[in-house]
Chains A and B, each alone.
Chain A
Amino acid sequence: MLHRTICMLVVVGSCWGTCLSAFAQQGEQVAKIFPDSTVAILAIQRPKDLITEIENHFVTQSVMKLPEVKKFFRSPQGAIIKFAKGIVETQIGESLWDNLKTNTEKGIWLGFDPERNGVLVAFQSSDEAKLKRIAGIALTMVGQQAERDGKPIPYKKSNYRDAIAAKFDDFLIARYEDWFFLTNKPDMAKFAVDNLMDSSQPSAADQVWFRTAYDQLQTSLPSPSCVWGAVNLEQIKKLSKNDLAFNGQTENPGVELIFGGILDVVKNASTANFHLHLDQDLSIQVNTPFQPDWASENREFFFGQNLTGLAPKAIKPDHWIASLTSYRDIGEWWLAKEDLYPENVIAQLAQTDSQLSTIFSGLDFGEDVLGSFQPGVQIIATQNRFDDKYIPDLKLPAFALVGRLKESDSIQRRMRIAFQSVIGFANINLGMNGQPQLEVETEKRDESRISSAQYFYEEGTEEGLVLFNFSPTIAFKGDHLIISSTRDLAIELADLVGQPKTEDSNTELQIDGKMLHQVLQANLESLVAQNMLEEGNSRDEAENAIEILLSAVNLLKELKLDFDVNDDQMQMAVKVRFDSANSKSGNAK
């Protein structure tokens, strides 16, 4: 146990958060340490800056204050880690963090080679002597621990050219000058050493996919200390030729509606890259090359004509939690379905069309109902409010879909009748199960016409029967259509919709961390109960686990995801803004 811990501290710990790999100087030069069959490279460009940023970041400090984290460091496993860290620091004469910064100063890199099924993690130190010393200390300590446990030394030392390696059962570590390698395939470390010494073998750096990705990165890197990565999509597609997604198709209509256009890009692009930047906020951006003719005709519903489709402006009523707004022409999507899906899915959709057409009194659901929508829809979530008398156990947020209709007047009445039919069907089912039924009311408010259905609770309705405060509503204002899970939200949205405006991107997702936290906090009891069942936790343990979740969400101020394409690239950007004010308490309760 201890020898592995030491190794992890020194080696894996150095790679630290192994999802990150790095590039110290020029990415092109360093990519030569990876074989030409490598399909993914990840780099941390200035680890020292990033480590310092993470070390001092208020999120890290808040996490370290969490009771569960403190508890872990008081546990036997935590004590072993602390003990091992103490021993290592005594031996190297400085803190492990400082040593880590020096020994990775020129960069950290990670590459995956599917041909070898190997992963190589490499980092380059700014002080060769320090690297040599800590590697030696780590191996000595591992050997001593094995001796204390009465076990054989778990590694075998060897030399390869000027490199020194130690081979464990399932991985190998090696050092060459100021370079350090960790890999599950010794062959990958040999390749790296060979190419560092004589650059004799074709490497990832020579590959078109890497050069394309790297060139694109050069223009978009926000800071020198960021993390970046590049992927050979072409090769991945070859390896996953039976995967529908890589062939630009999906069997899931929901996935098609949300991600369909991205599948077109994945099908055609040969490479993708991303970069991650951390300061007070966290930004991640994924880019791929793009050409307008990659957008297939049947995905015009996704991109719009000439790629001009923009999402409607997000509406943010009171107690707003999240919204997903996008340019989607759902009428066009329905019409294009036969070109988008395999036969079995088309058959299912045809059946759904037929069933829904019955509800819509003979109107064709696809062509007449979905076809009446203008492009651009958004889904909005807000915190639900509850009648004091009937507060449900599960306090779900309220949801609404907002769209616009092409010929509003003619379709409105048909939709209202369909709404009443749906409520009628629901009432039959609810009545059969002894559940409270829904009562429909239609009202006019200013320029809006609102039909809503509310549960009818008799006096003395037993506790536990009111599970979701749900009042399905359909509302119209001008050419706007609002379908909402509650009447209150529909009314608020009807007041807010006005002249159509758009965002700057095709699709945008926004989440308000504070409101999300409030929703989770309101559902604390149910989250704890669910955790008890799934984790077999006691009440206290479940509360602790949920507290960690709440603490994490409490640090989130806002999450924003934008998706867009232009004439030469597809771009997906995620921005996470943290709330430093909440980090001071460090406690969700």
Chain B
Amino acid sequence: MMELNSIDPEWAWAEFEPDRQNLWDRKKAAHLFRRSAFTGTADQIDRSVRLGMKSTLDQLFDQAGNESIDPQMATAGRLITGGSDAKSLASWWLLRMLKTKSPLLEVMTFFWHGHFATGAEKVMDSRAMLRQNELLRKHALGEFESFVKAISSDVAMLVYLDSQQNRKTRPNENYARELMELFCLGTGNYTESDIKEIARCFTGWEIRRGKFRFNKYQHDTKQKSFLGKSGDFDGNRAVEIVLQQPAAAEFIARKLVRHFVFDNVDISSRLLDPLTRKLRSSQMNISVCVKKIMTSNLFYSKYSIGRKIKSPVELAVGFLRFLNASTNVNQLADRLLGLGQLPFYPPNVKGWPGGKTWINASSILGRANLLAEILVHDKTKFRAGSVDNWFEQALKSYNGSTLEWFEEYLLATSLADATKQSFARLEKNTEFGAAQKLAWLVALPEFQLS
């Protein structure tokens, strides 16, 4: 932490310029793909090395902006909501993560799903969950203000925060509280009185027959005073006032940095300041902020590379995308539930805590088993035909050993000498095939890092 605080903020957020000492190489390209696209295939990483960082990022953002929904995906989503089974909806999203040509958009959508956490278990309406998912995707890289306004009237969110009926005689404070504490400002930047007043702004916002409705008869039209402003504000105006608070931009910047740069670190306001200013000056444009993060010196520094633990979804989806493979996503969803991260089922309104909480004695074994099962599962289909073919082709075009290949494309950190020696001994065994080699490698603690 001390080390982080000593970083020059201007250097941290300045654009990374590769030079002879600090090349744009496979390790850095792989790092960018891991954080922005679940992972990159060896081809994508090699192409990125040729194109350079900026062009790679431009491509990722262009793909995110031009996503065309596969009609089959849309049909699948609709059919699943017909059965009201949100667990199938989780399978559907996993498949979308695996197949998408706009991986950055899915990464961002998943990030916002954790931020505006809404659990299907409580909402019990998979159609509403799907609509929220579409909303998250639509705003994932847009302007934060319109995003918050949209989520404030989202049916699934209102159900999750018990705001189906918000009457002027009994304003519901849940949403007002979470709007400031979890979504926009963070603790310490508002008072209990602000919560009560903002809750009044949202009175009359209710759900009727599965849809959002503004009931003017239940809206409190009297003056409200909060965060230094007074007036007859409604919910949308309340959102605008909340986001005008100096703390808002820093709160969002911090959350994005924690997600994309390093885990669970108390980041100082001083370090964040250039990023916060950028976010504020862009009218809270998320895309601008994310791009600045992913082009920054800090992002490609030792403070970021290998400083995050992959979430179960990142681990499994990233692995399958790297293999250019797909599998039975219903079973994958079951296994991810066991590892503590099933999309549409966050543990609570705070979302998944992430970081070191992903790893303990049993989960590390579970993660390794999951990847080993994926490799040998009869429903796992490799575009190369089989894992053996895939492995053979992958190594054929690489000028180096299996371990070097693995380190360059798949690992954020280097392997210890003892690990390398163990692998070398195992590799001599002719019965040790491609699936076994990969299973051994991805079970390593180093592979859990991003």
Query: A-side interface residues toward B, CB under 8 Å?
Result: 75-76, 393-394, 431, 433-435, 463-465, 467-468, 525-526, 528-530, 532-539, 541-542
Contacts and interface: CB of A to CB of B under 8 A. Distances in A.
Given A431-B209, A526-B79, A536-B328, 15 more contacts: A76-B385, A393-B75, A433-B125, A434-B125, A434-B209, A465-B127, A532-B95, A533-B92, A535-B328, A536-B327, A536-B329, A539-B70, A539-B72, A541-B381, A542-B72
Contacts of A75: 385
A526 B81 CA distance: 12
Given A394-B82, A526-B79, A464 B127 contact: yes
Nearest to B71: A525
6 contacts: A465-B127, A526-B75, A528-B72, A529-B73, A532-B76, A532-B95
B88 interface: yes
A394 B79 CA distance: 7
Nearest to B381: A536
A536 B95 contact: yes
Interface string B147-168: 0000000000000000000000
Contacts of B91: 533
The 7 closest A-B pairs by CB, nearest first: A434-B210, A536-B326, A529-B76, A467-B82, A434-B209, A464-B78, A536-B327
B329 A533 contact: yes
Contacts of A535: 326, 328, 379, 381
Interface in B264-296: none
B133 interface: no
A17 B379 CA distance: 24
B437 interface: no
Contacts of A533: 76, 80, 88, 91-92, 95, 329-330
Interface in B163-204: none
Contacts of B127: 464-465
Contacts of B208: 434
Contacts of B76: 529-530, 532-533
A393 B379 contact: no
Contacts of B211: 434
Contacts of A464: 78, 81-82, 127
B106 to A, nearest CB: 16
A539 B207 CA distance: 36
A539 B72 CA distance: 7
A393 B75 CA distance: 8
Of B71, B80, B209, B211, which is in contact with the most chain A CB atoms at under 10 Å from its CB? B209
Of A393, A434, A533, which is in contact with the most chain B CB atoms at under 10 Å from its CB? A533
Nearest to A431: B209
Interface in B19-77: 70-73, 75-76
B98 interface: yes
A533 B83 CA distance: 14
Contacts of B379: 534-536
Contacts of B80: 533
B380 interface: yes
A52 to B, nearest CB: 34
Of B72, B81, B92, B127, which is in contact with the most chain A CB atoms at under 10 Å from its CB? B72
Contacts of A393: 75, 78-79, 82
Interface residues of B, number: 35
B72 A534 contact: no
B337 to A, nearest CB: 16
Interface in B384-409: 385, 389
B335 interface: no
B75 A525 contact: yes
A268 B3 CA distance: 83
B237 interface: no
Contacts of A431: 209
A431 B327 CA distance: 38
A299 B75 CA distance: 47
B78 A538 contact: no
A464 B77 CA distance: 9
A542 B99 CA distance: 13
A393 B77 CA distance: 11
Nearest to A525: B75
B99 A538 contact: yes
Nearest to B320: A536
B381 to A, nearest CB: 6
Nearest to B327: A536
Of A431, A434, A532, A541, which is in contact with the most chain B CB atoms at under 10 Å from its CB? A532
Given A536-B98, A536-B379, A536-B381, A529 B329 contact: no
Contact of B210 (A435, A467, A526, A542): A435
A542 to B, nearest CB: 7
A534 B379 CA distance: 9
Of B75, B99, B207, which is in contact with the most chain A CB atoms at under 10 Å from its CB? B75
B127 to A, nearest CB: 7
A529 B72 contact: yes
Contacts of A542: 72
Contacts of A528: 72, 75
A529 B209 contact: no
A537 B75 contact: no
A467 B83 CA distance: 9
Nearest to A76: B385
A536 B385 contact: no
Contacts of A463: 78
Nearest to B78: A464
A537 B381 contact: yes
B210 A532 contact: no
A475 to B, nearest CB: 27
Contacts of A534: 328-330, 379
Contacts of A532: 72, 76, 95
A48 B330 CA distance: 45
Interface string B396-434: 000000000000000000000000000000000000000
A534 B381 CA distance: 12
